[in-house]
């Protein structure tokens, strides 16, 4: 019996054990399957590394528009009526060339390795502040709620130029946006509640745009507010969407990696010791944590021509879903995929995507994870879990929402 329908179950997809159990099964028994669920428009499910990589590097044959993320059919229609797009937003993730290339160029210089490396002192200081906070909590805390969620939030808000006193609101809106299937994080049970979250984001960032147009500074918000595309100001939907994806994906995915990364070090204590003995491995450890967690669970593409994968024919116009956590545990491409190894060469992992749509913020994400764990492991004596961690119920961006820990600093 096919287990494909489980792919849209946020409880199964929310927990790492059940999620990877499903992916292990699909990769070996049903690597290209068809999901036809009554609440969603149908789509193909791709779970093997080679297929996901092939789709990702052929952007003319597999396009991002009109469907980019799996959402309920009723919500898609609501977004289409409100914004003129089934995605609700018009971010880089939702665009194809030439528009994608033009808008990516707006912030490309900000997120190149050189400019990102110049942020190191700021990121190191914010990391130090949050490890100080962890130490001050006295040997016991909910690491996710009190540390992991807040550290990358402070980093990206500093870069954008959002005031610290508004960070709590941004965190709440982000959790409502990405955790809309989780009863503890969603705004409500009604499909329209998701639309209300997007509209709150729009209202807030429209105010930021107006402010930075009148009073530009050297922050990223000023770059976005005053950007020109083909010599003209950015379209409002494109501009506000750019703010939303930078603010939300810029911290939520990194928070998931920091939380899941520490859990991996607790689950594989020999790797924590390796990192403590060899702090130079913190950068490769950051990359391994990103592979291990793979916080972005999927993206969608639409075929522009017929294609065959693993004996299945996908017709032009049909939708494909690319499942990155599955690709990153595929033994055909990743050696010992279910082992956490801080010294691993991770050039083949796909957590940031691949090809023309590879994550623009990847270098910043790696830097944040690297800086945090370099600071933490140099000061940590021991750490252990207290009880069971809790996971966000989600099929798009996932990770831990709670992880009580007990620890001692040196």
- Nearest C-alpha neighbor of 63 from the set 109, 21, 96, 19: 96
Q: 162-211: per-residue pLDDT in tens?
A: 888 988 888 888 888 777 776 777 787 776 777 888 888 889 999 999 99
Across residues 145-162, what is the average pLDDT? 94
Dihedral, CA atoms, 64, 65, 71, 72, nearest 10 degrees?
-150
* Angle, alpha carbons 337-253-408 (nearest 5°): 80
* pLDDT of 322 strictly over 90: yes
Cα distance between residue 387 and residue 404, in whole Å: 7
Structure tokens of 213?
Answer: 């147009």
Q: Which two tokens stand for residue 101?
A: 């290339």
C-alpha span between 209 and 292 (Å, rounded): 37
Confidence (pLDDT) at 1: 55
Q: In whole angstroms, what is the distance from residue 176 CA to residue 185 CA?
A: 6
Domains of the chain: 4-409 (1.10.630.10)
> Is the model more confident about 360 or about 83?
360
Confidence bin at 338 (pLDDT 50/70/90): very high
The β-bridge relationship of strands 312-314 and 400-402 is: unpaired
Contact 45, 7 (CB under 8 A): yes
Average pLDDT over every residue of 137-164: 94
Say how far apart CA 323 and CA 278 lie, in whole Å. 33
H-assigned helices in 219-361: 220-225, 236-267, 269-277, 282-293, 324-327
Say whether 127 sits in a helix, a strand or coil. helix
> Could you identify the residue written with the tokens 């990364």?
261
Over the stretch 80-97, which tens digit does the pLDDT of each residue have? 888 788 777 778 888 999
Which of the four pLDDT bands, split at 50, 70 and 90, describes residue 306? very high
For position 270, what pLDDT does the model report?
98
Confidence (pTM) = 0.94
> Does 406 score more than 70 pLDDT?
yes
Structure tokens at 365: 């994400």
Considering only the C-alpha atoms of the chain, give the largest distance between any 2 of them, rounded to a whole number of Å. Answer: 60
Give the per-residue pLDDT at 191: 67
Distance separating alpha carbons of residues 243 and 206, to the nearest angstrom: 9
Count Cβ neighbours within 10 Å for each residue of 294-319 and write b for 16 or more, e otherwise. bbbbbbbbbbeeebebeeeebeeebb
**CA distances to 259, 334, 408 from 282, in Å:** 15, 20, 20
Q: What is the pLDDT of residues 222-258, one digit of tens each?
A: 999 999 999 999 998 889 889 888 888 888 999 999 9
Q: What is the structure's pLDDT at 56?
A: 97
- Condensed to tens digits (0 to 9), the pLDDT of residues 269-280 reads 999 999 999 999
3-class SS of residue 398: coil
Which of 126, 196, 116 lies closest to 155, judged by CA? 126
Distance CA 62, CA 47 (A): 16
**Confidence at residue 173, expressed as pLDDT on a 0 to 100 scale:** 83
- Return d(Cα 159, Cα 365) in angstroms, integer: 13
């Amino acid at each position: 019996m096919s287990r494909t329908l489980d792919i849209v179950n946020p409880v199964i997809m929310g927990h790492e054990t059940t999620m990877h159990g499903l992916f292990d099964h699909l990769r070996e028994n049903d690597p290209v399957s068809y999901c036809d669920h009554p609440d969603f428009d149908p789509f193909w499910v791709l779970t093997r590394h080679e297929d996901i990589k092939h789709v990702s590097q052929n952007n003319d044959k597999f396009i991002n528009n009109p469907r980019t993320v799996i959402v309920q059919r009723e919500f898609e229609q609501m977004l289409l009526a409100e914004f003129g797009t089934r995605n609700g937003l018009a971010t880089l993730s939702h665009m194809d060339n030439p528009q994608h290339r033009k808008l990516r160029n707006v912030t490309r210089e900000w997120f190149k390795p050189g400019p990102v490396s110049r942020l190191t002192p700021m990121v190191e200081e914010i990391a130090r502040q949050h490890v100080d906070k962890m130490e001050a909590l006295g040997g016991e805390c909910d690491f996710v709620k009190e540390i992991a969620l807040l550290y990358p939030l402070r980093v990206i808000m500093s870069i954008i130029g959002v005031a610290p006193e508004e960070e709590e609101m941004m965190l709440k809106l982000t959790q409502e946006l990405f955790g809309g299937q989780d009863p503890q994080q969603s705004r409500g049970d009604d499909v329209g509640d998701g639309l209300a979250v997007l509209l709150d984001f729009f209202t807030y960032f429209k105010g930021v745009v107006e402010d930075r147009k009148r009073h530009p500074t050297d922050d990223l918000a000023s770059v976005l507010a005053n950007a020109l595309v083909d010599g003209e100001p950015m379209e409002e939907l494109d501009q506000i969407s750019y703010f939303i994806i930078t603010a939300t994906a810029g911290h939520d995915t990194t928070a998931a990696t920091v939380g899941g990364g520490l859990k991996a070090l607790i689950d594989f204590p020999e790797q924590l010791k390796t990192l403590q003995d060899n702090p130079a491995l913190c950068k490769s450890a950051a990359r391994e944590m990103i592979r291990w967690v793979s916080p972005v669970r999927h993206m969608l593409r639409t075929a522009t021509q017929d294609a065959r994968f693993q004996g299945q024919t996908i017709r032009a116009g049909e939708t494909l879903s690319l499942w990155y956590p599955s690709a990153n545990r595929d033994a055909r491409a990743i050696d010992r995929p279910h082992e956490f190894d801080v010294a691993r060469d991770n050039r083949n992992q796909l957590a940031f995507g691949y090809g023309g749509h590879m994550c623009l913020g990847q270098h910043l994400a790696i830097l944040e994870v690297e800086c945090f764990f370099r600071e933490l492991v140099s000061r940590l004596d021991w750490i252990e879990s207290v009880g069971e961690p809790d996971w966000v119920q989600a099929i798009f961006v996932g990770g831990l929402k709670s992880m009580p820990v007990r620890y001692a600093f040196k």
